[in-house]
């Protein structure tokens, strides 16, 4: 059987009585057969969004706004963190400044950011440019 994979998007979060935060994801883009498979996997823990009828996934760990769920060997669902794991391994392999930069770039990409922090360019006077070019004014 093909590995069960489901796409989900962040819907909301709430805090349980004990203070633990729960992140709620809506599973999207399912065929009726996939919905039946998801329902069977979740069993008594299966819940649907009241407005859309889409299945819900609950996690105590936020990963991203858009996630992929995969079925584990023991038949449960978990967030597919393989891209994060690969990035962490690559950064750890190089370590130091290079590893830090790899980690920053990978995190920005995985989280959907533009890739690097925005830094305002320094203001340069025409005199500084001329001097830098070797032209005396």
pLDDT tens for the 137 residues of the chain, in order: 456 789 999 999 999 999 999 999 999 999 999 999 999 999 999 999 999 999 999 999 998 999 999 988 888 889 988 887 888 888 788 888 887 888 788 778 877 764 444 444 444 444 444 434 444 43
pTM comes to 0.69
Structure tokens at 119: 């830094």
Contact 25, 59 (CB under 8 A): yes
CATH 2.40.10 fits 5-80, yes or no: no
Radius of gyration of the chain (CA): 23
Domain ranges of the chain: 5-80, 82-114
Contact present, 94 and 87 (Cβ < 8 Å) = no
């Amino acid at each position: 059987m093909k590995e069960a994979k489901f796409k989900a998007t962040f819907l909301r979060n709430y805090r349980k009585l004990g203070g633990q935060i729960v992140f709620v994801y809506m599973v999207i883009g399912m065929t009726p057969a996939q919905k039946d498979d998801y329902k069977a996997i979740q069993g008594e823990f299966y819940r649907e969004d009241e407005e859309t009828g889409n299945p819900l996934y609950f996690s105590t760990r936020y990963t991203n706004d858009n996630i992929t769920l995969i079925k584990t060997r023991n038949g449960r669902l978990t967030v597919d963190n393989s891209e994060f794991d690969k990035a962490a391994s690559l950064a750890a392999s190089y370590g130091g400044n290079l590893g830090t930069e790899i980690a920053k770039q990978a995190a920005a990409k995985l989280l959907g950011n533009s890739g690097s922090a925005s830094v305002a360019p320094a203001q340069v006077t025409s005199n500084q440019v001329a001097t830098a070019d070797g032209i005396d004014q």
